[in-house]
Amino acid sequence: MSNEEPSHVIDVAVFKEMRAGHTVYLDYSKNPAGFDFDELPREAQARYHSEIKAEISSEERSRSPLHRLREINPASIEWLREHGVDLEAGDRIELAPAIQHFQGGVKIRRRADTTIAGLYAAGEVAGGQHGANRPGGNALMDAQVFGEIAGRSAAEEAGTLGLMPVGADRIARWKDRLNALADRTHGLPASQVRTRIQTILSGCASVVRTEKGLTEGLSALADLKAGGIHADEKGWAFALETINMYDVAEMVMRAACMRDESRGPHLYFAHADDDHPVPRNDERWQRTIVLRKGRDGMIPEARTPVRPEEGM
């Protein structure tokens, strides 16, 4: 990887190896071919020096990643040893990409309110606060800032909405729904359904996204949903949350399939084996995708983002 290449090339490379059935490791015992500490960019070297905990000679520093880790983060070597990975004995660390933050979510307005009266959202469940990407560290600030806004807004509104009327027909519908979930001869147990949803999304909606993969993912999800679900030992709430996951999974895949460019962590490839994703297309895609519930299913819409001065 050259200094000019974006860091996602590592995510893509790891993802492709895993897709091919391989396991990927981080090996601290030897330097990458051609590595020269003194050739690192000046900022990287300055950052490294600011992290030094136990200074070693420059010769030792150049010897291996393990030597450098010993210099800047000796505690991590100890922590890993306590957890069964002994880098000093030559153990390697198994790698896999993971989701650190979800940029999408429930659309909120200035007061953290949503289109459902009385419902507020804050933190990672809300969407739109960060645009297409999130500067590192901003998720916790987002949760705190919008958490306070949502709490204040909800407190101001408390008592003004009154109780939500719940008719007998609605209660009867829920009773039927729960009775159907209890029928263990119908469909798959909720735990298995959840695992399958996760497998579908990890395969087509994580690091490498393509139209073909996402279309296949949507079709696999529709088949899974049609096959039915029943509550298992994890209980009713788990089963009901899993049913909601059908919708969340469909929203993620529909939106990802619609955005045929790359932006932020959304890497859209023309073909799954391509080395580089389709580039960003501002003219067509400086848009927010909003999904709403229509009479016949989900309606995706690409909208021009609202600027704060235009009101929300």
Ligand X SMILES: Cc1cc2nc3c(=O)[nH]c(=O)nc-3n(C[C@H](O)[C@H](O)[C@H](O)COP(=O)(O)OP(=O)(O)OC[C@H]3O[C@@H](n4cnc5c(N)ncnc54)[C@H](O)[C@@H]3O)c2cc1C
Nearest to ligand X of 123, 300 (CB atom): 123
Choose the binding region for ligand X from 16-24, 120-128, 183-191, 286-294 (rule: CB under 6 A). 120-128
| Token pair recorded at residue 83 | 């957890």
Determine if 138 is a binding residue for ligand X (CB under 6 A).
yes
Beta carbons of 229 and 177 less than 8 angstroms apart: no
Choose the binding region for ligand X from 49-57, 138-146, 207-215, 244-252 (rule: CB under 6 A). 138-146
Cβ neighbours of residue 193 closer than 8 Å, sequence gap 6 or more: 187, 224, 229, 242
Please identify which residue in 18, 69, 143, 290 interacts with ligand X, judged by CB under 6 A.
143
Determine if 139 is a binding residue for ligand X (CB under 6 A).
yes
| Token pair recorded at residue 285 | 């895609």
How many residues at the interface with ligand X, by CB under 6 A? 11
Provide the minimum distance between the beta carbon of 135 and ligand X in the complex, in angstroms, as a whole number.
9
Choose the binding region for ligand X from 131-139, 163-171, 186-194, 204-212 (rule: CB under 6 A). 131-139
| Token pair recorded at residue 185 | 């001869």
Nearest to ligand X of 106, 302 (CB atom): 106
Choose the binding region for ligand X from 32-40, 41-49, 117-125, 161-169 (rule: CB under 6 A). 117-125
Provide the minimum distance between the beta carbon of 241 and ligand X in the complex, in angstroms, as a whole number.
6
Please identify which residue in 3, 100, 160, 304 interacts with ligand X, judged by CB under 6 A.
100
Taking phi over 0 as left and psi of -120 to 50 as alpha, with beta for the rest, 182 belongs to alpha
Please state, as a whole number, how many other Cβ atoms lie within 10 Å of the Cβ of residue 194: 18
| Token pair recorded at residue 189 | 């147990």
Determine if 127 is a binding residue for ligand X (CB under 6 A).
no
Contact positions with ligand X (CB under 6 A) in 220-249: 241
Determine if 124 is a binding residue for ligand X (CB under 6 A).
yes
Determine if 91 is a binding residue for ligand X (CB under 6 A).
no
Beta carbons of 77 and 87 less than 8 angstroms apart: yes
Q: Which residues are at the interface with ligand X (CB under 6 A)?
A: 100-101, 123-125, 137-140, 143, 241
